[in-house]
Amino acid sequence: MKEKKIYFTKHAKKRMEERNVKEEEIIFSIRNKNWKIAREGKLSVSEVFPFNNYHYGRYYKWKEVVCIFEEEEDKIVVITVYSFFFQRR
């Protein structure tokens, strides 16, 4: 089930760039974390990663990555991505 090929929409790739999210983080989350039901029949998954870097001029230690995706018969399609930055975990 979780070994299907993962595809990224153009929208998801744009959001990943804007929100400082790496493709590897999304793939890791989908393959290793529990999926949750999201709105409109979509699925979501999230994970917290060490960040220790600047995002829009401010330094953060941690980053939570949230991915919204659809599971199709033969693939997984990432629709959009969110990120949340913080100091303490």
Query: In the chain, what are the domains?
Result: 5-86 (3.30.2310)
Output the pLDDT for position 56: 92
Is residue 22 within 8 A of residue 16, CB to CB? The reply is yes
What are the distances in angstroms from CA 85 to CA 9, 26, 37? 23, 16, 23
Output the pLDDT for position 25: 98
The mean pLDDT values, 10 residues at a time, for the chain of 89 residues are 87 97 97 95 96 95 98 96 93
The pTM for the full model equals 0.90
